[in-house]
């Protein structure tokens, strides 16, 4: 039996040699230097590697429809990287009932709505984060995580910093997503910008798990669906965990970017 050298996610070797293998004591992951990037492997088999592409939504009508709805009742988490060119729009949605969405207003305030019992009245009654530090900005990659605990308490993470909700009064535990980028039947703005690495979990991510995703792109247990946005061609967005692939709608021939990506 061999024993790997150890490090932490913040003390990785600065000048690694191709093929170096280490065990990270804080994340419990095995990492391998491929000559350019660290590749990591989790204990549940979900791996990460070099990020190949991001996908550009033009803000007019580009969207992705998932094969079936991602429905979760109880605790959940959603993780995604976004680089908005403009702020206003629906980033995730549900074409069937339009009762669930992740919406950003023109000031960058993020709102989550889920289930038929939720309200989105202006100025209150919605699950939103109006702290200025939580606001999205244009022209910069940002890691966004929305978590809900078993008591239906919501937390927003923006670039590894957490924010509690403002004006939250939510009792409906059901959420259902099936579209990325836009809800054609409910036109409150279309997502305009780049998108990468969307993951749905059936649990509330801990702070260390959010940090692991943010710093190392390491996805942990509880994944329901994982979209790496690394296809680079074609009209299918692959679900790396299950079989709930998405279909790209209305995109031009080459919407993928190999240079503008979060990591």
Partner 1 sequence: MITYIILDASELGNVDFNRVCQTSADTLRYSLDGSKFLLKFEGDTPSFLIGEPQYDHSEILNILSGSEWTSPDLLS
Residues near partner 1 (CB under 8 A) are 58-61, 63, 86, 88, 103, 105-107, 109, 111, 120, 122-123, 126, 128, 182, 184, 187-190, 192, 235, 247-253
What does each C-alpha distance from 221 to 15, 209, 218, 226, 229 come to in angstroms? Answer: 31, 10, 10, 11, 20
Nearer to partner 1, 37 or 65 (CB): 65
CA–CA distance, 210 with 181 (Å, rounded to integer): 23
Q: Name the nearest CA neighbour of 100 among 88, 83, 117, 87.
A: 117
Q: What are phi and psi of 158, to 5 degrees?
A: -120, 115
Give me the least distance between CB of 47 and partner 1, in Å please.
Answer: 32
134 in helix, strand or coil?
Answer: helix
Helix (H) or strand (E) holding 100: none
Give me the least distance between CB of 105 and partner 1, in Å please.
Answer: 4
Nearer to partner 1, 73 or 247 (CB): 247
Give me the least distance between CB of 232 and partner 1, in Å please.
Answer: 18
Nearer to partner 1, 102 or 224 (CB): 102
Nearer to partner 1, 48 or 103 (CB): 103
Residue 167 structure tokens: 């004006």
Give me the least distance between CB of 236 and partner 1, in Å please.
Answer: 12
Residue 204 structure tokens: 């509330």
Give me the least distance between CB of 165 and partner 1, in Å please.
Answer: 13
> Would you list the DSSP string of 163-209?
EE-BS------EEEEEEES--TTS-S-B-EEEEEEEEEESSPPPHHH
Q: Name the nearest CA neighbour of 210 among 143, 130, 133.
A: 143
99 in helix, strand or coil?
Answer: coil
Helix (H) or strand (E) holding 244: none
Nearer to partner 1, 189 or 262 (CB): 189
Give me the least distance between CB of 65 and partner 1, in Å please.
Answer: 8
Nearer to partner 1, 21 or 184 (CB): 184
Cα atoms in the Cβ-side hemisphere of radius 13 Å centred on 38: 25
Nearer to partner 1, 73 or 185 (CB): 185
């Amino acid at each position: 039996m061999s024993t790997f050298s150890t490090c932490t996610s913040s003390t990785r070797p600065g000048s690694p040699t191709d093929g170096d293998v280490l065990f990270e004591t804080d994340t419990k992951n095995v990492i391998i230097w491929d000559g350019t990037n660290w590749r990591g492997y989790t204990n549940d088999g979900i791996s990460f590697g070099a990020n190949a592409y991001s996908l550009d939504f033009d803000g007019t009508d580009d969207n992705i429809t998932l094969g079936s709805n991602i429905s979760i009742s109880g605790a959940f988490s959603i993780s995604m990287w976004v680089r908005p060119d403009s702020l206003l729009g629906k980033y995730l949605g549900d074409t069937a009932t339009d009762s669930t969405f992740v919406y950003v207003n023109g000031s960058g305030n993020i709102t989550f709505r889920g289930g038929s019992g939720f309200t989105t009245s202006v100025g209150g009654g919605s699950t939103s984060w109006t702290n200025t530090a939580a606001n999205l900005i244009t022209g910069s990659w940002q890691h966004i995580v929305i978590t809900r605990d078993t008591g239906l308490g919501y937390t927003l993470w923006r670039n590894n910093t957490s924010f509690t909700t403002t004006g939250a009064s939510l009792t409906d535990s059901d959420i259902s997503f099936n579209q990325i980028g836009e809800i054609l039947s409910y036109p409150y703005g279309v997502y305009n910008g780049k998108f990468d690495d969307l993951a749905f979990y059936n649990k509330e991510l801990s702070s260390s798990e959010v940090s692991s995703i943010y710093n190392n792109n390491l996805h942990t247990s509880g994944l329901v669906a994982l979209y790496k946005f690394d296809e680079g061609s074609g009209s299918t967005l692959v679900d790396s965990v299950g079989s709930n692939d998405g279909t790209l709608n209305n995109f031009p021939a080459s919407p993928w970017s190999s240079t503008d990506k979060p990591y």
